[in-house]
Amino acid sequence: MGQTKRIGILTSGGDCAGLNAAIRAVTHRAIGTYGWEVIGISRATLGLLSRPPEAIPLTLANTYPLLTAGGTILGTTNKGNPFAFPSAEGEFSDRSDEIIQGYHQLGLDAMIGVGGDGSLAILRRLAQQGNLNLVAIPKTIDNDLGSTERSIGFDTAVNIATEALDRLHFTAASHSRVMILEVMGRDAGHIALNAGIAGGADIILIPEIGYTIDGVCQAISQIQAQGRNFAVVVVAEAVCDEGGCQVTQTHAQGQSRLGGIGQYLADAIAQQSQAETRVTVLGHVQRGGIPSPLDRVLATAFGVTAVDLIAEGKYDHMVTWQKRQVVSVPIEDAIAQYRAVDPQDTLVKTALGMGIYLGEQ
């Protein structure tokens, strides 16, 4: 069993379904198997910046209901890089040492960070600077971390996008419309590609493959020539307009976010083909709600193995899913390998084989 440890866990970056299942698994393994203490750190590194640090003890009892709960009970943030932390006056300062002190104030022997590439890069830098014992668990609905075939949250997001497509088929058919579904994914098209195949889309547009409005309209005409009066399109948020520019929207505080390519396509298709078009932007629905069984399994397997890595003293590693096994890779390698959709990917070939328009190959 070894020496009793006190370990922390935090969730960082955008939330997704399955984070709570990972928190539950870490707690069960650490307490149940090793007899350790587990501390849940609030709001990612912001909890370690607070004085006293914001954290709660995690127990078998208070993590019991977490398997099916969406979001993260610990809270999270995708703002406030500690190395360039914004002040109310709009200035930036390095507050990394305060976070490292927060870790020590909690008396932690090790910490598990659940995050995507951006969060894990920050956590690793903190760990290097402060000699913190860090183990990582990958989560991102975008599924763009290269060293793991799956990240927590992706499967649930694909399920939600697929269900949206399933529903859109019926209303598209009723009104003889071209229905466009805009999905998330940041710079990668994994959600659009997977949901598009699963949800029987006629057209799938992803940032990794260029398209033309002519090509899209021809695909719609072919469907009409085959005797079908409607079409369903799924587009990833980072797909560019025909001029090669990403479509963004400016939110409060001047922040620019991907969004609007669905409406751009709807207008362009309507103008060129006379088809009646409608747009659904799925947005954060993809991140919320009950995790799919696959995300629960993944989160549980990752949580158990992450605790085992601490028991082995194998720090600075991230758990990954490779060929149906949970293994680990150095965090440095994990964050260095970005994974977009490979245009030669099996799923690209599958979509093409089904006659789906994917752009100009």
Helices 154-175 and 293-312 meet at what angle, rounded to 10? 170
Three-state secondary structure call for residue 1: coil
> How many residues of this chain interact with ligand F6P, rule: CB under 6 A?
12
155 lines the binding site for ligand F6P (CB under 6 A): no
**Cβ 294 to ligand F6P shortest distance, Å:** 18
DSSP per-residue letters across 112-124: EEEE-HHHHHHHH
258 lines the binding site for ligand F6P (CB under 6 A): yes
Q: What's the half-sphere exposure (Cβ side, CA atoms, 13 Å) at 93?
A: 8
14 lines the binding site for ligand F6P (CB under 6 A): yes
- Rounded Cα distance between 41 and 56, Å, is 7
- Contact positions with ligand F6P (CB under 6 A) in 284-323: 287
Neighbouring C-beta atoms of residue 242, cutoff 10 Å: 14
State the catalytic residue, choosing from 97, 109, 117, 142: 142
Binding mask 101-120 for ligand F6P (x = CB under 6 A): --------------------
3-state secondary structure 148-175: CCCCECHHHHHHHHHHHHHHHHHHHHHH
78 lines the binding site for ligand F6P (CB under 6 A): yes
- 97 given a catalytic annotation: no
- Rounded Cα distance between 326 and 316, Å, is 16
184 lines the binding site for ligand F6P (CB under 6 A): yes
- Interface region with ligand F6P, contact rule CB under 6 A, candidates 123-131, 138-146, 167-175, 201-209: 138-146
Q: What is the DSSP letter of 32?
A: I
141 lines the binding site for ligand F6P (CB under 6 A): yes
186 lines the binding site for ligand F6P (CB under 6 A): yes
Q: Which residues are catalytic?
A: 142
* List of residues contacting ligand F6P (CB under 6 A): 14, 78, 140-142, 184-186, 237, 257-258, 287
